[in-house]
Structure 1
């Protein structure tokens, strides 16, 4: 999938565009990941829609070294303007779900639909809960290893493979699916800075009036770190037009584990069909 570079706020952003029709902008997770996470799984959507994937600031093939929620909101807006798009659908995964909702709260008139998967929530409280539950799953010994590897990376030791081997199994329902996971270069500075920004500043509750009536689909893995029941209790009551769907046989990485289900849900939602809310 060939890309091009768009200059936004003085930084070079790598963008891939494929297909025709209603535009869908994909927001990758991390923070610090890349558009490669969506490929090739989401490619079939280009048969019916214009799909737009990009590397966030300093990630993948994009430049820039200023990391914040606000910075990425302006990046999305810059892409929308550069591609002459009136309204867009945002498909946000994990941290990308936070970004999708944050952009929509600032520019609701530019939103057609919002599709979230591996959703985190509406405030820093949910993000902190996500981290807490994840660490509980690791247990004391692996938490100690995580701390050791993280400290080693600060001092320039490349332990990325060891970190992946340690934590990746906790993001999936079946470890067998990890053999299909791409090796992605990760921006640890983006992870640290945006993670801190989320903990200190992320709070959509004062802005809910901007997004509560927007069409929103949340496709949450049945075995996600924040499972569908958590989203049902802590997110759905505040978003009047949101629909929650449980993605069976999946942990946090729904697009890796159940790509066909995510594709089918996206197509149904985009076509205006009612997606049955179901969860356990």
Structure 2
């Protein structure tokens, strides 16, 4: 099960003149390479939740994406594109000599992992898509469904604040907080690695690429849809999703049907972070997949 572990190695990689800080746990050639969500979040929550895989013989590698955590934080919004981040992932993989990897992408990291898999398919052993989607316009329709459960008056209030730009209004923030506790993490107290990542969120990349919050997509990824291309991903794929996930089981099913070799695990008591919400159920599924489906 997950626990906080000090990395065995911390290295800085140069990416187009910027410093990106990487973290490595364990050793060996069987590498689990983690791409965390956000955009704009440090990797603490995904790094610390998955580093326990070293107990089963895997090397686990994560990094603070440019603009986050201990990495450089430039302010040029032109840097915040999924295409540039794909090249960042490849630069880190090559610089650390990781070879073929088991690529884990969670949330935004899943969008990045899909894009990476389509660009550098030869770099993968397997692909693990955790709490993510392949089609953001479809996700937006699902988020509207989740918001509707708050009731028509609350939805109308949220839409009014989104229209006039008053997203900092207490009633709007209260609705977002309720949605977060329903669909992001259902634990009464969020784990320390999650709190650390959230407390150091760089909203520059997030607002540029996604939007003002988890339930309002206005950024440069709002039309991103790779479902028509996902048949090109031929490595084994594991898709994990919480029953109450903001990136819903319907989104997971859409990816599964688009992929030639994929399986889905739905965790009934989780939302967006089953590795924290249901670790006793989550990690056996992940480990079983890695054992059964890894390729050379």
TM range, smaller chain: 0.7 to 0.9
Matched, 1:257 2:277: yes
Structure 2 residue aligned with 1:193, among 205, 208, 212?
208
Comparing 128-137 with 105-114, which one deviates more in the overlay?
A: 128-137
- Residue 271 (structure 1) aligned with residue 291 (structure 2): yes
Question: In the alignment, which residue of structure 2 is the partner of 1:93?
Answer: 106
Q: Which residue among 31, 50, 59 is the counterpart of 1:50?
A: 59
**Alignment partners' CA distance in 1, 2:150 and 2:20:** 35
CA shift, 1:73, in A, is 0.4
Does structure 1 conserve the Cα–Cα contact (< 8 Å) formed by 2:231 and 2:259?
Answer: no
Name structure 2 gaps, 5 residues minimum: 1-5, 211-218
Structure 1 distance, partners of 2:220, 2:140, is 12
The CA distance in 2 between the partners of 1:40 and 1:187, in whole Å, is: 19
Take 2:247 and 2:60, find their aligned partners in 1: how far apart are those partners?
Answer: 28
Q: Does residue 245 in structure 1 map to residue 285 in structure 2?
A: no
Q: CA deviation at 1:131?
A: 3.8
Task: Summarize the alignment of residues 88-237 of structure 1 with structure 2, pairs less than 5 Å apart.
Answer: 88-120=101-133, 122-139=134-151, 140-141=153-154, 144=157, 147=161, 151=166, 165-172=177-184, 174-178=186-190, 181-183=194-196, 184=198, 185-195=200-210, 196-200=219-223, 202-211=224-233, 213-232=234-253, 234-237=254-257
Q: TM-score, normalised by structure 2?
A: 0.78
> What residue in structure 2 maps to residue 16 of structure 1?
23
Contact 2:231–2:258 (8 Å) recurs in 1: no
- Where in structure 1 are there 5+ consecutive unaligned residues? 275-280
Give the TM-score normalised by the residue count of structure 1: 0.82
> Counterpart of 1:277?
none
Q: Tell me by how many angstroms 1:225 deviates.
A: 2.6
Q: Which one of 44, 50, 60 corresponds to residue 36 of structure 1?
A: 44
The match for 1:25 is: 33
**2:33 touches 2:103 (CA, 8 Å); kept in 1?**
yes
Once residues 110 and 263 of structure 2 are traced to their aligned partners in structure 1, the CA distance between those partners, rounded to angstroms, is 14
**2-structure distance, mates of 1:137, 1:9:** 45
Cα separation, partners in 2 of 1:60 and 1:144, compared to 1, 3 Å: farther
Aligned length in residues = 266
